[in-house]
Structure 1
Amino acid sequence: MDRKLFIDGEWVDAIDARRIEINDPATGDRVGSSSIAGRVDVDRAVEAAKRALVPWGATHADERARMLHRAADLIEERVDAIADALTREQGKPIPDARKEILFGVTVLHYYAEEGRRLGGSIRPAARPDIRSIVTTAPVGVVGGIVPWNYPVDLYAWKVAPVLAAGCTLVVKPPHETPLAIGLVVQCFIDAGLPAGVLNDLPGTGPEVGAALAEHPGIAMISATASVPAGQSIMRAGAATLKRMSLELGGHSPFIVMDDADIEEAAAAAARRSFSNMGQICIAVNRILVAKPIHATFVEALVAETRKIELGHGVEPGVLYGPVLNESVRTRTTRHIDDAVRRGGRLVTGGTAPKGGLYDKGFFFEPALVDDVPDGALAVTEETFGPLAAIRPFANDREALAIANALPFGLAAYVYSGDLERAWSMAEQIEAGAVGVNVNDTSELQAPFGGWKMSGVGRELGREGIEAYRESKHIKLRLRSRIG
């Protein structure tokens, strides 16, 4: 697959004709290529989005909903082709690729209907001849920045509420994984989306991401990125006081209390640590285990981790694939080495497997390091790779202090047989979402986002569409009243 930029309703080459090759991280084989946008291309796309803004905002919510529903239906019809492209460019197995894409479909359907429910209210006024009306309007042209780890899913998280809210959009999909998104964009085209409403420009963060953040024609930025990238985006957007929705990095603690079901907690921790090879913003990074069950839990977790078999994600039965590229393996190895050097114990994994397919791709055995001391990279920096660090704790107070010690607060997990005890812990953890006896914190109708350095703003839920509407107060005086 060889794709171009999508600007003002047309597939076009970048002005400077730059392209990038996309290779399968499991085999090294060429998958396709993509045009790579530059700043001039961003200018073209923003102008197109500005021209489309007023007519799209004036389009009835029912008509906007019809197009979103139709695009979602087309994505679902083409899910096999899109999933194949996603697996070959990103590495995740086909079942995970399909799951990602189909959740994106659900998000599109959800916001199609939420757009119909946008309204206003009449508020109390200080005088009987005054009517105080509060309404909302589209915030304007939105710049979207999408990461490579869940490109289709997170594309839907941005595109669906933006379009349903009546805004137009210029998206920077990841240059590492732009191909499946190209197929998704075609679904929007085939659904009848007007020219200029959605513009799609694969490119790098330092160039295209920065151009969007700085552009005076962009009213708001919605980005899923690392903490340093989010800080850069916020600084760049400060000059024009852009509204921001930033879902940034995390460092999720997974707390296993002494009354937890050990086998259940170990299976949940392994899946949340190593699904998509740990390349998830809400992946488990720190596993905090009560001392009385520490040894038993580690034994169960090692057993679960060693069940993981790596392979090419397009092959039937493969549930775990390669990491995206060599930089992920290098960073993960650096974090392991640092933890061991500080006194931690590598209890399983932590090397690149050898032989056959493994010699061609970016494969890495999921790693567990036990007794990792505070201050190690593995427990202070987001690895974003297949590594989980284990640390015992003495009591609930210590577990809470460790969980809240970092400047991140995206997600956390608590496993306990005592719901009241777990609830108390969950209420005091400084994170945007906490899973209690469940290893996933995202829910379509609930807000998703981080505390502290893990971001500002929320996606999903009603909050996810309200972010793209600007409040307006209209105050009316009635000249006469009957009676």
Structure 2
Amino acid sequence: MDRKLYIDGAWHEAKEAGHLEIRDPATSEHVGSTAIAGRADVDRAVTAATRALPLWAETHADQRARILHRAADLVEERIEAIAEMLTREQGKPVPDSRKEISFGISVIRYYAEEGRRLGGSIRPSSRSDIRSLVTTAPVGVVGAIVPWNYPVDLYCWKVAPVLAAGCTLVAKPPHETPLAIAMMVECFADAGLPAGVLNDIPGTGPEVGAALAEHPGIRMITATASVPAGQSIMRAAAGNLKRLSLELGGQSPFIVLDDADPAEAAAAAARRSFSNMGQICIAVNRILVSRGIHKDFVEALVAETRKIRLGHGVLPGVLYGPVLHEGVRQRVAGHVADAVARGGKLLIGGRVPTGPDYDRGFFYEPALVDEVPDTALALTEETFGPLAAIRPVADDREALAVANALPFGLAAYVYSGDLERAWTLADRIEAGAIGVNVNDTTELQAPFGGWKMSGMGRELGPEGIEAFRESKHVKMRVRDRLGG
């Protein structure tokens, strides 16, 4: 695929004619290329979105829903082709790509219906001749910034509620993985989305992301990004006081209490640590395990990690693929080396595999490091790769203290045989979502987002569409017209 920029209902070359080659991270083979937008292209896209806004905002919610449902139908029809493209550009195995796209379809359908439920209320007033009506309206043109780790899924998290809310948008898909998203854009276009409502321009964060955040024609930014990127967006968005919804980095603790089932907890920790090669914002970064169960848990976790077989994601049976690029591999290797240098014990993995199946790709064996001190990078920074650091704790109080010690608060996990103990911890952990005896905190109808430096605002659930509406109070005096 040689994709272009999608602006005002048509595919265009970038003004500066910049292109980037996309290569398979498992084989380094050519997959396609993408036009790379610049600031002039941002202006073109914002102009198109601004022009399309009045008509789309006035389009009845039922009609918007019909278009979204049709787009979801088309994605479902084309899911195999989109999944293979996603695997070839991002590296995750096809079953994971298919799962990601399926959830994206559910998100589109959910917000198609949530858009129909947007309404208002009549509030109590101070006088009998006063009526207070509270309504909402679309916030305006939205800028959406999407990451490369779950590009299709997180694209849907942003595009679906924005469109259902009656807003138009300019989306910046990741320049590293823009091809499957182009196939998603075609589904929206083929579903009958009017020109200019959705504009899609791949580009880099410092260029296109910054231009969106600064642009006076953008009223809101929704972004999934790193903490430094989120801070840059906030600074740039101050010019016209843009609304912000930012899901930023995490450093998720996985707490294993001494009454947990070690085998069950280990299986859950391994999958949440190494699925998508740990390139997940809610991946397990640090495992805080009670000393009373430490030995049994570690043995079970090593056994689970030993089962992992790496390979090209398009091959049958492959469940774990490469990381996206060499930068990810170097960061993980650096975190492993730092943890070991500070006294941690490397239990398994932490190597670049060799052989004809691996030599051309960005593969890295999932690593477990035990007895990692609090000062190690693996316990203080987001690795965003296949590394799980184990830190024994004496009791529940120490587990809570360590879990809350960092300035991040996206997700956390607690495994215990006693729900009262688990609830006590979950109630006190400073994070936007807590999984108790479950290793996934994402739920379509519940809000997703972070505390502290892990962001602001919420996606999914009703909160995910309410963010794109502005409230309006209409206060009116009415006369008694009842005839005598």
Q: Is the pair's TM-score, using the shorter chain for normalization, greater than 0.5?
A: yes
Q: Which deviations, in whole Å up to 9, do the C-alpha atoms of 1:364-399 show, x marking residues without a partner?
A: 000000000011000000000000000000010000
- Aligned equivalent of 1:300: 300
Residue equivalent to 2:214: 214
In structure 2, what is the Cα distance between the partners aligned to 1:172 and 1:21? 17
Counterpart of 2:181 in structure 1 is 181
Structure-2 separation of matches of 1:337 and 1:240: 44
Tell me the residue number matched to 1:88: 88
- 1:374-432 per-residue CA deviation (whole Å, 9 max, x = no partner) reads 11000000000000000000010000000000000000000000001101100000000
How many residues are aligned here?
483
Residues in 1 aligned to 2:76 and 2:236: alpha-carbon distance in whole angstroms: 37
Report the equivalent of 1:452: 452
1:74-127 deviation line (CA, Å, top 9, x unaligned): 001000000000000000000000000010000000000000000000000101
Q: Distance in 2 between matches of 1:291 and 1:84?
A: 44
- Residue 12 (structure 1) shift: 0.3
Alignment of 1:410-429 (within 5 A): 410-429=410-429
The secondary structure found in structure 1 opposite 2:50 is helix
User: Please, what is the CA RMSD of the aligned residues?
Assistant: 0.5
Are 2:199 and 1:199 aligned?
Answer: yes
Whole-Å separation in 1 of the counterparts to 2:390 and 2:290? 11
Residue matched to 1:112: 112
State the AA in 1 paired with 2:116.
R
Please name the residue that 1:360 is paired with. Answer: 360
What residue identity is the alignment partner of 2:238? A
Q: Which residue of 2 aligns with 1:383?
A: 383
Tell me what 2:23 maps to. Answer: 23
* 1:479 Cα deviation from its structure 2 partner: 2.8
Hey, what does 1:256 align to over in structure 2?
A: 256
User: 2:44 and 2:375 mapped to 1: Cα distance?
Assistant: 47
CA-to-partner distance for each residue in 1:184-221, whole Å, 9 max, x for gaps? 00000100000000000000000000000000000000
Match in the other structure for 1:240: 240
Mapped partners of 1:57, 1:240: distance in 2: 21
| Aligned mates of 1:480, 1:51 — CA distance in 2 | 42
Which residue identity lines up with residue 89 of structure 1 in the other structure?
A: E
Distance in 1, matches of 2:246 and 2:196, equals 24
Structure 1 outlier segments of 4+, above 4 Å: none
Q: How far does the alpha carbon of each residue in 1:276-304 deviate from its partner, in whole angstroms, 9 at most, with x for none? A: 00000000000000001111111100000
What TM-score comes out, normalization by structure 1 length?
1.00
Alignment-derived partner of residue 269 in structure 2: 269
Which residue of structure 2 aligns with residue 327 of structure 1? 327
* 2: CA distance, partners of 1:481 / 1:417: 66
Distance between the aligned counterparts of 1:165 and 1:373, measured in 2? 47
Letter of the 2:360 partner, please give it: K
Between 1:287-296 and 1:447-456, the stretch displaced more is 287-296
Q: Which amino acid aligns with 1:341?
A: A
Pairing 1:464–2:464 present: yes
Cα distance in structure 2, aligned partners of 1:264 and 1:227? 32
- After TM superposition, the structure 1 = structure 2 runs for residues 53-202 of structure 1, keeping only pairs within 5 Å, are 53-202=53-202
**CA distance, structure 2, for counterparts of residue 296 and residue 394 of structure 1:** 15
Q: Distance in 1 between matches of 2:329 and 2:402?
A: 27
Structure 1 residue 357: deviation in Å?
1.8
3-state SS, counterpart of residue 465 of structure 1: helix
1:369 and 2:369 matched: yes
SS at match of 2:253: strand
1:336, 1:481 → 2: CA distance? 78
1:48-77, Cα deviation, whole Å (9 max, x unpaired) = 000000100000000000000000000010
Instruction: State the distance in 2 between where 1:421 and 1:368 align.
Output: 27
Question: What letter matches 2:383 in structure 1?
Answer: T
Secondary structure class of the residue paired with 2:153: helix
In the alignment, structure 1 segments of 5+ residues that lack a partner are none
Deviation at 1:239, TM superposition (A): 1.3
Q: Distance in 1 between matches of 2:352 and 2:2?
A: 31
Partner letter of residue 97 of structure 1? Answer: S
Letter paired with 1:454: S
**Secondary structure of the equivalent of 1:359?**
coil
Q: Tell me, what secondary structure is at the counterpart of 2:292?
A: helix
- Mapped to 2, the partners of 1:379 and 1:208 lie a distance apart of 32
Deviation at 1:481, TM superposition (A): 3.6
CA–CA distance in structure 2, aligned partners of residues 307 and 234 of structure 1: 43
What fraction of aligned residue pairs are identical, expressed as a percent?
78
Aligned to 2:33, what secondary structure does the other structure show?
strand
Alignment of 1:428-443 (within 5 A): 428-443=428-443
Structure 2 SS opposite 1:292: coil
Counterpart of 2:6 in structure 1 is 6
